[in-house]
Amino acid sequence: MEMACEDPTAGGTRADEGPLASLELLEPGVVYLTEWRPEPGDEDPDPKRMSTFAAVGHKTG
């Protein structure tokens, strides 16, 4: 996924590239799918095993 850093937990995203360029990302930004607002106690000990990312944003300007 070109829009995300190699490790999205290490510094956010490159939202100025690709389809995310016109979106304002909501927290927590682009993260591994299992890290998208997990319930308390549901945290994944190894989120990098997922090859799927999640993000929600809304159009700006």
Cis amide bond preceding 28, omega within 30: yes
Whether 1 has a pLDDT exceeding 70, the answer reads no
More confident residue, 2 or 32: 32
Q: Is residue 3 helix, strand or coil? A: coil
Domain limits of the chain? 8-59
What pLDDT, on the 0 to 100 scale, is given for residue 10? Answer: 52
What pLDDT, on the 0 to 100 scale, is given for residue 38? Answer: 84
Radius of gyration of the chain (CA): 12
What's the rounded Cα separation, in Å, for the pair 58 and 12? 17
CA neighbor of 29 nearest in space, from 3, 60, 61, 2: 3
**Look-up: residue for tokens 């299992």?**
34
Which pLDDT tens digit goes with each residue over 6-60?
554 555 545 455 777 788 999 988 888 888 888 898 888 898 887 888 889 998 7
